Structure 1
C-alpha cells in the first residue's frame, strides 16, 4: 500500500467514523437517552403497520401466519419495539428482513433473533456484519442473517406475497426494498429519505448513480395509491417520491457541470448555489446538510 493511498484511506475512514458519531447525536439518540424514546405505530393496511422510534422506520406485517418485521433500529430499543408489536398481534415473531447493515436499522438483530425471528438480508449485509465492529469486537452469531439472497426473493405471509429485491450500490452495497403486493406498500429502507438529503455511504459501496437507479426501480412499483415507508421520515406517496428523484437528478446535473468546469472538491463544497433550490425547501435540515451532500455527490461522481 502506497503512503498516499494509506493516507487517503485513513482520512476516508476518519470521515466515516466521524459521520457515525454525528449521525447518532444529530438524531438525538445517545445511549443515555433511549429511555425517552417512544415507539409509535401507524396502520397502513389491514395487516401492515409502520413503527416510528429512533432510527430507521420499521415495517410490520401481522396475521395468522405470525409477525414479519422489516428492520429493528438500535439494540436498546428492542424491548420497546417488541412490546409495541405485542399490541398489534399475539402471534409469534417469524421473520426479520434487514434493508441494509447500519446499526439504526439492524442494531437489534441479536435481540430479535432471541425473540424468535429468522433474519433475512442481502449477501453483502452478512459480509459487513461479519466484519469487526468499531470497538474491535465481533457481532454475535445471533445478529447475523440466517437466509441471504443475491438478487430477489418472495415471502408469502399473512395472505400476501412480499417481494424482496436488491438494489445495487445505492445507499450501501447491500440495500433491499420490499413490496407488499396486496397492500400496495413499498418499504424503501435508506434508499429514500423523505424531504431530506440522503446519506449515501460511499465507504459501504454506495454511489450517487446507484442511488438514483434504486429510486427509479422503486418507481416501477409505485402508483397513485401506493403508501411508501421511507428509511427516515413520515409515510410518503408517489408525488413525494417523484420530488425526491427530481432533487437527486438536479443535484447530479449541477455538480456534474461543476466537475466538467474543473471545479475542485473544496470549491464545490463551498458553492451553495449548487444546492440552493433544495436547501430553501429544507432538505439540508437533517443530519446530512447541504455542504455534506455536495461533497458526497462530488466524490461519487468524480470516482474518488
Structure 2
C-alpha cells in the first residue's frame, strides 16, 4: 500500500486537532542563514535545522502537521532540493507533528531507538498526567540508531548523537561539522519559557544540565547553536542558560532538603527570589504560573 493511503487519515486527524487551537494560516516560516548551505527555520513549534547537499536535504524536526506546506515551500525556496531525511530530536508533537506529511512526500524519518519506542507506545505528561496516544506507524522513524550514527547526502554529512536521560529518554543532538552548527532539541529551550522536564524515564533537571555540559564540551566560540525553542545561540548564551538551570535546581533542592512538601516549595516562590544575576524567573522571562510548574517538575526530579 502506498504512502498516501497509509498516512492520509493520520495526517488529517492531527491537522484538524491542531488547527482547532492555532491559526496556522497566519504562521510565517522565518529562515536564518547559518552558512555553508545550512539554515534555522522558525515558525510555530520547535526550531528546524536545514542542511542542504548537492542532491537532497537533511531536515531536523518538522513542527506541526498543518505547517507542512509552508515548511516544504521554504526549504524548496532556500535549497531547490528535495527533503531526503527528517531527523527527530525527540518525540514531542511540536517537533514531530509533520512527520507523516514529509514521509508521504518520500522523506525517510530517522530517530533514536527509544524515541521510536516512546512514540509507538504513547506517553504520559509528567505534570498533568495527560496521555498522548501512540503515533501512527507512518509517523515513526524507519531508520533508528542506539548511540550515534552519521547521515549523508551528496557533499554533506551530519552526526547524530544520543543524549541519554536528558529531556526525554530518546533525545538526539545533531552536529553539522562543516557549518559548525549544533541542533540541541529541547535540552535547550529559551524565549520566555522554561524547558520542559520529563521526570519519568528521562533524566530530570540533572539530566538536562548534563546534556548542556556535553554541548559545552563540543562547542566553541564560533559554534552556532539551534535550540529547541528560542533565538539562535552561541556558546556564551549556552553557558548563561546552564547557569539558569543550576540556579533553579539549587533553589528548589534546598527547599526539599529542608523538608518542605511540593506545595510548600511552590508557595515559597523560589524562582522569583532575587539573585546576583537576577531571579531565575526574570532571566527566563517566564510567568508566575510557569514558574510554579517548573518548581514542581524540579522538585519531583531531584533527590
Report what 2:261 is aligned to: 264
Are residue 38 (structure 1) and residue 31 (structure 2) matched?
Answer: no
* Structure 2 residue matching 1:101: 3-state secondary structure: coil
Assess, with a 3 A threshold, how the Cα gap between structure 1 residues 207 and 249 changes in structure 2: closer, same or farther. Answer: same
Report what 2:153 is aligned to: 157
- The Cα RMSD (Å) is 2.2
Provide TM-score, normalisation by structure 2: 0.84
**Aligned match of 2:114 in 114, 119, 124?**
124
**C-alpha distance in 2, partners of 1:102/1:30?**
19
Assess, with a 3 A threshold, how the Cα gap between structure 1 residues 32 and 211 changes in structure 2: closer, same or farther. Answer: closer
**C-alpha distance in 2, partners of 1:149/1:273?**
40
Deviation of residue 158 (structure 1)? 4.8
Deviation of residue 46 (structure 1)? 2.0
**Aligned match of 2:172 in 173, 176, 179?**
176
Deviation of residue 136 (structure 1)? 8.5
**C-alpha distance in 2, partners of 1:121/1:174?**
8
Report what 1:225 is aligned to: 222
Judge conservation of contact 2:36–2:178 (CA < 8 Å) in 1: no
**Aligned match of 1:201 in 193, 198, 202?**
198
Unaligned runs of 5+ in 1: 1-27
Report what 2:281 is aligned to: 279
Moved more, 60-69 or 277-286: 277-286
**Aligned match of 1:146 in 142, 147, 163?**
142
Report what 2:210 is aligned to: 213
* Structure 2 residue matching 1:252: 3-state secondary structure: helix
CA deviations 1:244-288 (Å, max 9, x no partner) are: 1011111222222212111111111111234431212243249x7
Runs of 4+ in 1 over 2 A off after TM superposition: 28-32, 131-141, 156-161, 201-206, 273-276, 280-283
**Aligned match of 2:71 in 81, 91, 97?**
81
Report what 1:49 is aligned to: 39
Report what 1:190 is aligned to: 186
Provide TM-score, normalisation by structure 1: 0.84
Unaligned runs of 5+ in 2: 1-17, 124-129, 274-278
**C-alpha distance in 1, partners of 2:241/2:225?**
12
Deviation of residue 141 (structure 1)? 2.3
CA deviations 1:86-117 (Å, max 9, x no partner) are: 10122221111000111000011110111111
Matches within 5 A, 1:284-299: 284-285=286-287, 289-299=290-300
Judge conservation of contact 1:44–1:227 (CA < 8 Å) in 2: yes
Assess, with a 3 A threshold, how the Cα gap between structure 1 residues 294 and 139 changes in structure 2: closer, same or farther. Answer: closer
**C-alpha distance in 2, partners of 1:272/1:138?**
36
**C-alpha distance in 2, partners of 1:47/1:83?**
16
* Structure 1 residue matching 2:166: 3-state secondary structure: coil
Give the count of matched residue pairs. Answer: 274
Deviation of residue 129 (structure 1)? 1.6
Assess, with a 3 A threshold, how the Cα gap between structure 1 residues 74 and 206 changes in structure 2: closer, same or farther. Answer: farther
